[in-house]
Chains A and B, each alone.
Chain A
Amino acid sequence: MKMRKIHFCLICLMIFTSIFLNGCVFRDIDKRAFVTSIAIDHSGDEEKPFEVTVIVVVPSGSIKQEGVKYSFFSEKGTSISEALALIRATIDKDIDFAHTKTIVFSKELLKNNLGDFTDFFHRRRDIQLISSVGLTQQKAAEVIKLKQISQFAVATPLYNFFSRSAVQSPYITPLFLFDLRRKKVESGIDPVLPIIDIDKKERKFIINQAAVLTKDKYVELNPKQTMVYNILVGNIERFNAEIKEANGKLKYGIFIDSTDVSYKIIENQSQPVIHIKVRHQGILEESFMSTKLTEMETYAKETAKVAKKDMVNLLTYFQKQNVDPIGFGLRYKATHLHTRNIIEEWQKLYPNIKFKVDVDVNIKSIGTME
């Protein structure tokens, strides 16, 4: 009798628990549209300035037979959320941002002074804070629509450039959503966004520039400046450097495989100085002249001189433009006890500061031949 009661209770419990078996939070996977990238453009319309485009991966039964299909949806709206709400009405599935990996803004948006349009992405809980952000000079929708020649079946094309686990290039400046936010809000450091361009004919991306974003303007960096910036902030440790002769002819190329950067703000003199120490270690990779093992130190010194010049150039460029992407202001705040308005003090100090760069290059080998 007692056993029967227990059995009855157990069966009831089993039926009861099945209530909670709902699968994908009450909506099955075939009823969801997974967005992999979002592009925000300026529509040119004053009333509805945002043109939002999303890529949706269409799920298929077998990838081998049907391949992967993408579909694109685009709408205009007074805000990003309004445009997305309109897109929602055009898809027969529920939009899911959990797999969104890249967000691309067009530069037109910055020119038109539209306020903080990235707010939506930080505020929504299902957009990953580790999705990467980029700017483009072309139409953002076309950037995310581009299907690369080298693209594999199921992949978010742009993400591999920024995930740090695939492409390693000194020209690419990865910026994640959380990083953008913290640098934007913080005084004393400015975010640097990669500029993504496309070559439609050759079906490829060109990502070798960047832009520093401040509250009221943006400053573009050319490829060389982008590379030096990435080295200075430690985004990349491995890169190539070319040493040229005075007439512009290549002498030799160095491959640096480890980099160490540290800096200090020294102000106990009449002239405040930022002292940056850079240590490179690498090997000789290519040479147009005969190289000697005994000459390795000369090569290193020569390289250091070139590197030093590039770095000082970039730093003074930042100073002249009054932007601070490396975060000297943050370092200043981080080393001074908060007894007064530190950041104001720094803003007065920054235009007059001098940069002293020490580059130490250590060439370990000249390769497999002399």
Chain B
Amino acid sequence: MKRYVYYLIITNILAFNITEGHKILLNQKEYGALQGMILSIVFGFIILFAFVRFFQRYPGKDLPDLMLENFPKLFSVLVLLAIAIIWFIVGLISLVTFTFTLKRFLTPESSTLLIASIFLIFITYGIFLRTKSVLYTIEIVLLMILPVDFFLILKSITSNDFKIDFVSESIMHINHLPNFTSISTALYIYFGIVNLLIFNNQFQEHEISFTWKDFCLSVLFGFFYLLVGFFIPIGLLGYDNIGTVTNPIITATDALRMPLGIIERVLFITLTEVIFSTFICILLQWHVVIQILKKIFKTKKFIWHNINFLFVAIVVLLWGTTIYTINVLNEYSLLVFVQNFFYILPFFLIFMLLLFYLIKRRQKQ
């Protein structure tokens, strides 16, 4: 069962390089992105360690259970709602970025509304699955896309057009001290483990025995993908030029060729992979949101004629907010929004650590 915890972590790592995350880091290439990335190893380790060790202590229980047990109801509901909203926005960012990407590269002539709706239909079906089924879905999809992903990375690094000089030029900017943007953005890659706050109820005793080896492995994997998202676009598109590119990773794969492959343009393989990884990423994050909401509103008041109106309300809310945001945001405002949203994450992390400490103390009493 340990591998399912890995899947939670990996899914978020994959999504980082698709959403604006790596773009923000690349924008900070002269403002300490590299040092920020290196620093994020430490923070990543703290996040992983805190979450896994805390939830190992309470097997089969999720955060809403623990909170409702130990704190007054109003406080718990407010905190859980805040977490749900933050986690909803995380998923929303992936979806909006994904819609914009697809609109630009795959189907420029269909409306964003249609792209988002088609995707939302599948997502809506997915997030109401049982938690176990969600985990199985992720496993299957990851098994399909991880080899493709490694192939793409290998393909870009071994390409003749991958210029090491550009990469080492960017490394020469390592002396810049990191700013808050680069640290908070790099931190996001390790946030996959936060999903454990719901998924922990699937792991029974002794099932997620993470050892030091596992911690190091997952942190290094995250760091590796940070480097991939940073250096592959630079190596293929040039150091000075990368600031002018809006979708670095996807444009970078367009610079690759497979003269003897089925498709010469590697871009389309990347796009397929992007669709899948965005799907599982949003699936995970919004499933957590749904589960938290389910735990908060446990009453049966909303059920009428076997239809749970709570779910209907949630779906309407999901669709409404998504479609509204897609219409309102453009590419630049999305970037600014994501960047500002990432500022919250370190505080979110500190808050969670505090919460864990409090729960632990209450449980002891």
Contacts and interface: CB of A to CB of B under 8 A. Distances in A.
Interface of A: 20, 25-27, 125-126, 128-130, 163-165, 176, 178-179, 181-183, 185-187, 234, 327, 330-331, 333-339, 342
Contacts of B265: 128, 130
18 contacts: A25-B106, A126-B108, A129-B254, A130-B255, A130-B265, A178-B161, A178-B236, A178-B237, A182-B166, A182-B237, A182-B238, A183-B238, A185-B240, A333-B165, A334-B169, A336-B172, A338-B172, A339-B175
Determine which residue in B107, B173, B241 has the highest number of CB atoms from chain A within 10 A of its CB, and name it: B241
Given A185-B241, A185-B244, 10 more contacts: A26-B110, A126-B108, A130-B257, A165-B259, A176-B161, A176-B255, A179-B255, A182-B241, A186-B166, A330-B166
Task: Decide if the interface of chain B is mainly helix, strand, loop or mixed.
Answer: loop
Nearest to B170: A334
A125 B108 contact: yes
Interface of B: 30, 104-110, 118, 160-161, 163-169, 172-176, 236-241, 244, 251, 254-257, 259-260, 264-265, 267
A182 B254 CA distance: 13
Contacts of B256: 130
B165 A330 contact: yes
A128 B262 CA distance: 16
A181 B238 contact: yes
A27 B108 CA distance: 12
Contacts of A327: 165
B259 to A, nearest CB: 4
B283 to A, nearest CB: 20
B168 to A, nearest CB: 4
Contacts of B238: 181-183, 185-186
Nearest to A182: B238
B76 to A, nearest CB: 38
Contacts of B118: 20
Contacts of B176: 338
A336 B173 CA distance: 9
Task: Decide if the interface of chain A is mainly helix, strand, loop or mixed.
Answer: loop
B109 A334 contact: no
Contacts, number: 89
A50 B163 CA distance: 33
Contacts of B257: 130
Contacts of B161: 176, 178-179
Contacts of A334: 164-169, 172
A335 B170 CA distance: 10
Given A129-B254, A176-B161, A334-B168, A165 B240 contact: no
Contacts of A187: 240
A125 B236 contact: no
B51 to A, nearest CB: 37
B236 A25 contact: no
A181 B239 CA distance: 11
A234 B169 CA distance: 20
A179 B166 CA distance: 12
Contacts of B260: 165
Given A163-B259, A178-B236, A185-B244, A125 B104 contact: yes
Contacts of A331: 165
* The 10 residue pairs across chains A and B that have the minimum distance between CB atoms: A182-B238, A334-B168, A178-B255, A185-B241, A165-B259, A334-B169, A129-B254, A334-B165, A186-B240, A182-B241
Contacts of A179: 161, 255
B249 to A, nearest CB: 13
A119 B110 CA distance: 25
A130 B254 contact: yes
Given A130-B257, A164-B259, A335-B168, A26 B109 contact: yes
A35 to B, nearest CB: 15
A129 B255 contact: yes
